[in-house]
Amino acid sequence: MTNKLDETKTFTPKFDADGLMPAMAIEHSTGTPLMLAYVNKAALQKSLQSGYACFWSRSRQAFWLKGETSGNRLKLIDILIDCDQDTICMLVEMEGAKAACHTGRKSCFYRKLTANDGEGEDLSLQFTDNQPLFDPAEVYNK
Amino acid sequence: MTNKLDETKTFTPKFDADGLMPAMAIEHSTGTPLMLAYVNKAALQKSLQSGYACFWSRSRQAFWLKGETSGNRLKLIDILIDCDQDTICMLVEMEGAKAACHTGRKSCFYRKLTANDGEGEDLSLQFTDNQPLFDPAEVYNK
């Protein structure tokens, strides 16, 4: 636990060795956690310029304007940064099918951990009520 | 964009090279984003066993039962995992002073990004209404 308190208005982002930091996206009106992706400084700037969530895709090594293909963009209300300036939180409202997940669901967090043995050593997943809002095959396989 | 859809109930976590994955904590009753930290598999197990958020501290290289010092523990309602199983989302209720941040605030996300030039190249921070709920000097410097 560090006791150094960051009470400044100076933007001193702490990107990791790859120049990235995690960015969580939360639906502003409901508080629903939607997804987590990564931003570099340029993706942050693009987000602020465009007013829509823009990430850096680690798998594609490219800018990722969320919803560019599907139309399911995330309109930015606010971009928050945490106390040690190494995590971003995007407060967003959803457009299009209002689905942030590539499985077609509103949220990427559609399963919860369950301990089968009560000890947390044997874990499985349980689906929550988070049904697909679009058919990924139709949207992405054109 | 990968089209591979994970629709299984099998827990196949994708930890990074350090054996960690990001874990965001969200207040269940309000949807307030509180913090982001990291978990390894053992911290996840400890969380499930104890019913309280337990992380792995990268700076201290040790288990971090959140609130062990301050009493401001995060009681777990659910632990969600995302579509590609590389991010955790803990839905929690707050105990003690109901402050998750070491600055004494409810949330670590108490500042938002502001573009001074409208282009997103000159950024500064603006405080949101997120006042300290405890005095960090009293809690941590004993």
Tokens of B138: 């009293």
Taking an 8 Å cut-off on Cβ atoms, the answer to whether A140 and B3 are in contact is: yes
| Beta strand ranges found along chain A (DSSP E) | 21-27, 33-39, 54-57, 62-65, 74-81, 88-94, 111-115, 123-127
Residue A135 CA to residue A126 CA, distance in Å, equals 21
Could you say which of A22, A45, A123 has the minimum Cβ distance to residue B11? A123
Q: Which domains does chain B have, with CATH numbers?
A: 21-140 (3.10.20.810)
Residues of A in contact with B27 (CB under 8 A): 31
Q: Give this complex's ipTM.
A: 0.92
Q: Would you place residue A101 in the very low, low, confident or very high pLDDT band (cuts 50, 70, 90)?
A: very high
Taking an 8 Å cut-off on Cβ atoms, the answer to whether B6 and A103 are in contact is: yes
- Predicted TM-score (pTM) of this structure: 0.92
Tokens of B67: 């609130």
What are the tens digits of pLDDT across the range B27-63? 999 999 999 999 999 999 999 999 999 999 999 999 9
Q: Would you place residue A32 in the very low, low, confident or very high pLDDT band (cuts 50, 70, 90)?
A: very high
Q: What are phi and psi of A112, to 5 degrees?
A: -120, 155
DSSP B10: B
Could you say which of B35, B111, B141 has the minimum Cβ distance to residue A81? B111
Residue A89 CA to residue A92 CA, distance in Å, equals 9
